[in-house]
Amino acid sequence: MWQTGADNRLANNVVIKMSEHELGKEEQVLAVMKRVLTDIAKETFAKPGHVHPLSEDTIRNMRDCLGLIAIRESELQEDAGRSSTARPQFIDEPNRAVVVPISEIKKRSE
């Protein structure tokens, strides 16, 4: 669900996606920073053979920042006791989860 209230809006009309738990300020800052860095990367993409508008140092620094953001997000999830095993899944991707009823589990014979 997207929060659209005035208090949930940040600079430049960026809206943070909220889930069932309320994000802390640090998580909101990290989410916006990640969004801005990935938007810059998308908008400055150079086709093969063209000179990239950003320097190699800037690109490396952006990668370092995104890596640090990911690490801190993981730490915050762990500290909050939230699962960090969530991964994106395509709609047409088969579900890999296998449910085994307890009644079908048998003890090992020794």
Residues near 40 by Cβ (< 8 Å), separated by ≥ 6? 62
Q: What are the CA-CA distances from residue 66 to residues 5, 56, 101, 110 (Å)? A: 28, 15, 41, 51
pLDDT tens digits for range 3-60: 434 444 444 444 445 453 467 899 999 999 999 999 999 999 988 999 999 999 999 9
Max distance between CA atoms of the chain, in angstroms, equals: 67
pTM: 0.57
